[in-house]
Amino acid sequence: MTNKTVAIIGGGIAGLETSIQLEKLGYNVSLFEKDQTLGGHAAKWDRLFPNRRHATEVIESLTKSIGKNIQLNLASPVNKINRENGSFVIETNGKSQKADAIVLATGFELFPASKKEEYGYGIFENVITSAELESMFSSNGKPLMTNGKAPEKVAIIHCVGSRDEKVNRPYCSKVCCVTAVKQAIEIKEALPNTEVYCFYMDLRMFGPGYEELYKEAQVKGVIFIRGRLSETSELEGNRLLIKSEDTLSSKPLKMSVDMVVLMVGMSPLSSTDNLLKNLNLEPNHDGFVQVKDYHLMPTHTETDGVFVAGACTGPNNITDSVNAARSAAIEVHKYLISK
């Protein structure tokens, strides 16, 4: 064990894995998490793609590996970071702690669906987000409408807050397509008689097992329509009328459904803006943390001693975040032994 300490900011998947690997390398670790619990967004998820493993299994596996030299600081948002004599001073909850290096693993926030006012989120009761649907799966296993009934027809809308210049989100959020397919399958499994429609721009099923998941959805009767939602309005009985265009046939399309699910993308975490200023860092063109070299130094930043891991640099899945965390731990180690 060295006498050096690394501060990890963020207690999601990337932050946990980075902490575990650094402790194995002999460092003291101080992990700062703004919420009361660990796990980040994954802790609010039910099952993961592509094999529908329960998210709790992944988080529990990580938390069981937290050793005695990892200091957990929960409900501890980092307010300020100063540089003093080559070290960092982290201020949180009126206290300060020193560290020899920092790993930003602050993650992302979900795109606020209310910004797409034409989609009806926050206006119509049965327009929900993918995160809210996942919560339904966690709590009762079935998607239910506000009147407690099961929907007979569900429309899943891809790319909400992704690939959209109008809301300054031109990038792909990477996991929305496969999440939509996974959730469509789960709706069909929970409610076999429910009709499920996926409205997509392009299906980007790039990962191992993703294409097979898409084929499974087709076999189970999920209907895929290449088109983008233009407007949602409400009918009698809280039913919804959606207007779109079938871009394969170039024909307008109207459909009445019972529930609309918006696949919200990943957005930069706005609360990290002050931290970036403290650390003399700039956001990249999408608003996430800028890395030093996208190809060769994806876990370094332009500030000496500050590293990054996970979705704070852009949309990532869990596997990406774990790999980035392990890489960051190695780079921190190389940095500290050279000092």
Contact 268, 108 (CB under 8 A): yes
**Whether 124 and 146 share a structural domain:** yes
CATH code (residue 165): 3.50.50.60
**Whether 31 and 146 share a structural domain:** no
What is the token pair recorded at 145? 């409408």
**Whether 250 and 329 share a structural domain:** no
Domain limits for position 22: 5-107+269-338
**Whether 92 and 137 share a structural domain:** no
Overall number of domains in the chain: 2
Last residue of a domain, one of 217, 250, 266: 266
Sign of CA dihedral 126, 130, 134, 135: negative
pLDDT at 212: 97
**Whether 75 and 195 share a structural domain:** no
Last residue of a domain, one of 217, 240, 266: 266
In degrees rounded to 5, what are phi and psi of residue 262? -100, 120
Distance CA 76, CA 124 (A): 36
What DSSP string runs through 181-235?
Answer: HHHHHHHHHH-TT-EEEEEES-----STTHHHHHHHHHHTT-EEEE----EEEE-
**Whether 118 and 262 share a structural domain:** yes
Sign of CA dihedral 24, 27, 32, 36: positive
Last residue of a domain, one of 244, 266, 288: 266
**Whether 315 and 245 share a structural domain:** no
Contact 52, 188 (CB under 8 A): no
**Whether 26 and 40 share a structural domain:** yes
What DSSP string runs through 97-155?
Answer: EEESEEEE---EEE--GGGSGGGTTTTSTTEEEHHHHHHHHHHTSS---TTSPPPSEEE
CB atoms within 10 A of CB 205: 17
**Whether 95 and 134 share a structural domain:** no
C-alpha closest to that of 2 among 69, 89, 50: 69
**Whether 161 and 278 share a structural domain:** no
**Whether 167 and 248 share a structural domain:** yes
DSSP-derived secondary structure letter, 291: P
**Whether 29 and 100 share a structural domain:** yes
Per-residue pLDDT of the chain (339 residues; tens, 9 = 90+): 679 999 999 999 999 999 999 999 999 999 999 999 999 999 999 999 999 999 999 999 999 999 999 999 999 999 999 999 889 999 999 999 999 999 999 999 999 999 999 999 999 999 999 999 999 999 988 999 988 999 999 999 999 999 999 999 999 999 999 999 999 999 999 999 999 999 999 999 989 999 999 999 999 999 999 998 999 999 998 999 999 998 888 899 999 999 999 999 999 999 899 999 999 999 999 999 999 999 999 999 999 999 999 999 999 999 999 999 999 999 999 999 998
Distance CA 18, CA 329 (A): 6
